[in-house]
Amino acid sequence: MLFLYKYCLLVTNNFVLTCTEKEEKRIRKQPAMSSSYFILLCSADSLRILRLISFFTLLLSSSNCSANVGSDVRKAPRQLSVDFYAKSCPQVDQLVASVTSAQFRESPVSAPATIRLFFHDCFVDGCDASILISTAPGSKELTERDADDNKDLAMEAFDSINKAKALVETKCPGVVSCADILAMAARDFVHLTGGPYYQVKKGRWDGKLSMASRVAPNIPHSNSTINDLIKIFSSKGLTIDDLVVLSGAHTIGFSHCKHFVDRLYDFKGSKQSDPTMDPRLLKALKLSCPKFGGNNDIVAPFDVTTPFSFDNAYYGNLVSKLGLLSSDQALASDSRTMPLVQALAKDKQKFIQAFAAAMDKMGSIGIKRGRKHGEIRRDCSVHV
């Protein structure tokens, strides 16, 4: 037993579980489990000690656990380009990278959190950093950031952007938009976790509007059907292939129990577990996600085999019925998405190349240009 502050690490054969001490007492009463994969569950606070990833890497190696929407969509304006700041802020990529690399070392959870932040920003009225705006004190209209669907966004993501923006402002005041910094930071974190490094086109302006009411209709949910997902992605100018490829961002990151607990106990109102979930995964998840009275801070990884590596294992998991969310697992059974899921499960390089292209495409959704529709914020959380 290895204690991490007030948290614990339980190891049973190839089964790895981090949890609170209270949860540990309950789990120790369960029969031993043996499986060919591991599942990591941890409280939200324990994510802050994920700098111990190197320990997990060694542990997994020794135990053979590691895996061997309603806005108008327009094409990216011509002003978007990789060298947009070539004269006005030539070192912007390096400045942002210095912050993201330091943030990743300090708090690895910043990686999936920032990538998710970028997704949620782009899908609601375009990639314009409107998700970074804080609700004004006393305002009756909440901003996107405070929408129910965004309340689980980790603060580390916002911290990453704020730190990068502050540094860039010291070198190039009033020049680089928060929207561009968010796009660059997301790219950096993809790369830092083992994914592709791709060139980010720049020239976005920050949006002038941020409304919580715009969030729910425009982003995918954990219980979205394939038809729902296709409709949302299509409204953003994205294809079914883009849907499958961008869903691969779930190769890293975590989800709270509330987003998948229905699959464990009452799938689609059946009072039964989801029959498409591997029984081993089902049993493991039930240990820390009880039907009633569970710990709201407990989370589980989207990718139960290599949760810290940006690779194609996510797709292999779907083929093996090891998807965490219902919306993820559905990709492996629908005839419109299944062929690409199977192809990406077999070809990591194909996924890496496709993901870079899809991120570039998504990053061009709903671009704002000019003072009539946009602004360049000095503080990403406050409108000019």
| Half-sphere CA count of 76, side-chain side, radius 13 A | 19
Confirm or deny that 146 is annotated as ligand binding. Answer: no
Confirm or deny that 220 is annotated as ligand binding. Answer: yes
Q: Report the alpha-carbon distance of residue 140 to residue 127 in Å, rounded.
A: 24
Confirm or deny that 149 is annotated as ligand binding. Answer: no
Nearest to 92 by CA among 205, 190, 200: 200
Nearest to 195 by CA among 349, 371, 25, 300: 349
Q: Report the alpha-carbon distance of residue 6 to residue 176 in Å, rounded.
A: 42
Q: Is 120 a catalytic residue?
A: yes
Paired residues of 43 in beta bridges: 298
Confirm or deny that 290 is annotated as ligand binding. Answer: no
Number of residues in the chain = 384
Q: Report the alpha-carbon distance of residue 193 to residue 311 in Å, rounded.
A: 9
Q: Where are the beta strands (DSSP E) in 233-316?
A: 254-256, 298-301
Helix (H, G, I), strand (E, B) or coil at 56: helix
What does the DSSP assignment read for 24-43?
HHHHTTSPP---SS----EE
Confirm or deny that 306 is annotated as ligand binding. Answer: yes
Q: Report the alpha-carbon distance of residue 314 to residue 158 in Å, rounded.
A: 26
120, 191, 256, 259: which one is catalytic? Answer: 120
Confirm or deny that 18 is annotated as ligand binding. Answer: no
Structure tokens at 239: 């294809």
Confirm or deny that 93 is annotated as ligand binding. Answer: no
Confirm or deny that 106 is annotated as ligand binding. Answer: no
Q: Report the alpha-carbon distance of residue 309 to residue 152 in Å, rounded.
A: 22
Q: Are 89 and 175 in contact (CB under 8 A)?
A: yes
Confirm or deny that 251 is annotated as ligand binding. Answer: yes
Confirm or deny that 114 is annotated as ligand binding. Answer: no
Confirm or deny that 128 is annotated as ligand binding. Answer: yes
Helix (H, G, I), strand (E, B) or coil at 206: strand
Confirm or deny that 305 is annotated as ligand binding. Answer: no
Nearest to 254 by CA among 42, 4, 45: 42
The 8-class DSSP code of residue 149 comes to G
- Residues annotated within the binding site for heme b are 250
- Residues annotated within the binding site for substrate are 220
- Residues annotated within the binding site are 121, 124, 126, 128, 130, 144, 220, 250-251, 303, 306, 311
- Residues annotated within the binding site for Ca(2+) are 121, 124, 126, 128, 130, 144, 251, 303, 306, 311
The set of catalytic residues is 120
